[in-house]
Amino acid sequence: MILAHAAAAFAHVPATLGMFFQEEGGAAAGGFSVLSMLKSMGWIDLVVVGLLFIMSIWSLAVMIDRALYFSAAKSQSREFAPKVAGALKDGRLDEAIKVADRSKKSHLAEVVTAGLQEFRSYGSGGAISDEQIESSKRALERSEAIVHAKLKRGLGSLATIGSTAPFIGLFGTVVGILHAFQQIATQKTSGIGAVAGGISEALVTTAFGLLVAIPAVMAFNYFTNKVESFDVEMDNSSSELVDYFIKQSQR
């Protein structure tokens, strides 16, 4: 008895699978290419795709700009550090400032220049006072803050794109799925083929959102680590320069 019911139940499986693959084959014949999906999208989904495309271009521009800026800062700082150290060791303050002025893109040069210029503004003759050292120290701190802001320029937009792009893509997906089910209600059809096209079109926006967000998050973390390492280098250079001023005042 049980075997008879099982045989009757499984007898309907071939017919059901045949209907499924016929519907799937018809959908595949229509094509699920990206171009065809874009053509069949509603205006809200197209706005979402356009917004994600703009965000991807913006994040790519920030990545290129920061990569070039950080590369130039690192290379110029490597050349600057030994030259300015040698000039200060020989007591040639004006030469050290000239070396710093030639390294326009070096984060270290910008900080050190501010301290040296403030130190020189008190005059080269006479004893070095505590006020002169403190004033130079404050100039170094101000310059560090300015350079830190320059280094972080654009990173906020990467963080924003990385955190919002998936949700923007998900919004497009929700709208697309609602549109697909509205078509089912209008056409009064059922089966996977009735919604496959609409759902696949809707999922494009989620995939695009993730494609935009993942590189932005990775780039944000990478450049943030670079900024932190540059901050450490600037702190060390400022501390060494203040120590140099203190040693000069004790001579």
Q: How far is CA 68 from CA 47, 61, 88, in A?
A: 32, 11, 30
Number of domains within the chain: 1
pLDDT at 21: 36
Residue 147 pLDDT greater than 70, yes or no: yes
Residue 204 pLDDT greater than 70, yes or no: yes
**Enclosing domain of residue 154:** 42-250
pTM of the model: 0.75
Average pLDDT of the chain to the nearest whole number: 79
Is 194 among the domain residues? yes
Could you report the per-residue pLDDT of 13-36, keeping only the tens digit for each?
344 334 433 434 444 444 456 666
Residue 70's CB: how many other CB atoms inside 10 A? Answer: 19
Whole-number Å distance between alpha carbons of 195 and 181: 7
Is 160 among the domain residues? yes
Which structure tokens are listed for 206?
A: 């989620």
Helix locations, 127-191, DSSP H: 130-151, 155-187
DSSP for 112-124, written as a single string: HHHHHHHHHTT-S
Is 50 among the domain residues? yes
Q: Which helix (H) or strand (E) holds 103?
A: none
Is 11 among the domain residues? no
Is 198 among the domain residues? yes
Residue type, 44: I
Residue 161 pLDDT greater than 50, yes or no: yes
Report the percent of the chain where pLDDT is more than 90: 34
Is 1 among the domain residues? no
Q: Which helix (H) or strand (E) holds 70?
A: helix 43-89
Is 66 among the domain residues? yes
Whose structure tokens read 């499924």? 20
Whole-number Å distance between alpha carbons of 210 and 215: 9
Is 129 among the domain residues? yes
Report the percent of the chain where pLDDT is more than 70: 75
Q: Which helix (H) or strand (E) holds 6?
A: helix 2-11
Worst-scoring range by mean pLDDT, 28-32, 99-103, 127-131, 160-164? 28-32
